[in-house]
Amino acid sequence: MMPQTANSPIHLVQITDTHLYGKATGTLLKMNTHDSFEHVVELVRGKEDRIDLILATGDIAQDASESAYGHFADRVGTLGAAYRWIPGNHDKAEVMKNAAATPDVNEKSVQINNWLILMLDTSTDGQVHGNLAPGELEFLHSQLQESEFNNSIEHIMICMHHNPVKGNSGWMKDIGLKNRARFWELAKTATKIKCVVYGHIHQELDFVHENIRCLCTPSTCIQFKPNVVNFALDQVNPGYRSFELHANGTVESEVHRVEGENFEADFSSGGY
């Protein structure tokens, strides 16, 4: 891994849970995911003057088709910034690797200035819930240990798809990261982690857990209503999250949502 340099602060964009289909007509709970994704891409284009890296944190495709991944790569490519992606529960990691525009898209670690960004694969084939496989735990452990003795790394951001903290709605109890206790055990051995970033539950969240800031980002399509017992969609628009990572470890972040559009969705649905 060769460290990259950028102006300070480092400017990142997180795009997550696009749920694209191989065909542009594909819908998720009646929302056309290609259309909503396109609106978010245009929102990013209009708001972001400079992007050092785009973080795509899983559920890129709904049908795990190579054409869906190709469409994502094509559209994100128009933003003129490098990106890294990780699989979610609807993705197929091998298909993603084959569909990557360049090999570096699949890299699991990126150092920019004095920040290290780690991309963890929490996907479990055929399951909605997430799990950090032994290889992922070993990767995380080694990266955290090495960073403690690397003076060029002062701060760490960890990205994953599944929520590493229990979801805020009753129906979410079985869909998060199953071995989250082990993740937090490892996280607590490190001194440089500043934030954990994820998607999966289609919500905007920003809170502190185990003295580490946790940020969840809205989907580019349907949104899940928070603090309910049973599954329900929230009537807020798709969006993305921007980050500014400062050299002193400060993290500034904001969620941006598409405005002035009414997206069709099945708000009466009890699940998907």
In this structure, are residues 219 and 17 in contact, taking their beta carbons and an 8 Å threshold? yes
Query: What pLDDT does residue 4 have?
Result: 87
Length of the chain: 272
Q: How is residue 126 written in tokens?
A: 């055929």
Query: What pLDDT does residue 271 have?
Result: 86
Q: How is residue 245 written in tokens?
A: 């990572």
Can you tell me the distance from the alpha carbon of 52 to that of 147, in angstroms, rounded to the nearest whole number? 21
> Does pLDDT of 1 surpass 80?
no
Residue-wise pLDDT for 177-219, tens only, equals 999 999 999 999 999 999 999 999 999 999 999 999 999 999 9
Q: What is the DSSP letter of 181?
A: H
Can you tell me the distance from the alpha carbon of 247 to that of 25, in angstroms, rounded to the nearest whole number? 44
| Element (DSSP H or E) covering residue 29 | none
The amino acid that residue 257 corresponds to is: R
Residue-wise pLDDT for 73-82, tens only, equals 999 999 999 9
Provide the residue ranges of all domains of the chain, joining segments of one domain with +. 10-257
Q: What is the DSSP letter of 2?
A: P
pLDDT mean across residues, the chain = 96
Pick one of 3.50.50.60, 1.20.1540.10, 3.60.21.10, 1.10.3720.10 as the CATH number of 10-257: 3.60.21.10
In this structure, are residues 251 and 244 in contact, taking their beta carbons and an 8 Å threshold? yes
> Does pLDDT of 3 surpass 80?
no
Residue 260, number of CB atoms within 10 A of its CB: 6
| Exposure on the CB side of residue 264, measured as CA atoms within 13 A | 8
DSSP E strands, 154-223: 155-159, 193-198, 205-209, 212-216
SS3 171: helix
Can you tell me the distance from the alpha carbon of 168 to that of 2, in angstroms, rounded to the nearest whole number? 39
SS3 56: strand
Can you tell me the distance from the alpha carbon of 79 to that of 85, in angstroms, rounded to the nearest whole number? 15
Give this prediction's pTM.
Answer: 0.97
Q: For the chain, count helices (H), then strands (E).
A: 5, 13
User: 4's torsion region: left (phi>0), alpha (psi -120 to 50) or beta?
Assistant: beta
> Does pLDDT of 47 surpass 70?
yes
Q: How is residue 202 written in tokens?
A: 């289609």
Can you tell me the distance from the alpha carbon of 206 to that of 107, in angstroms, rounded to the nearest whole number? 26
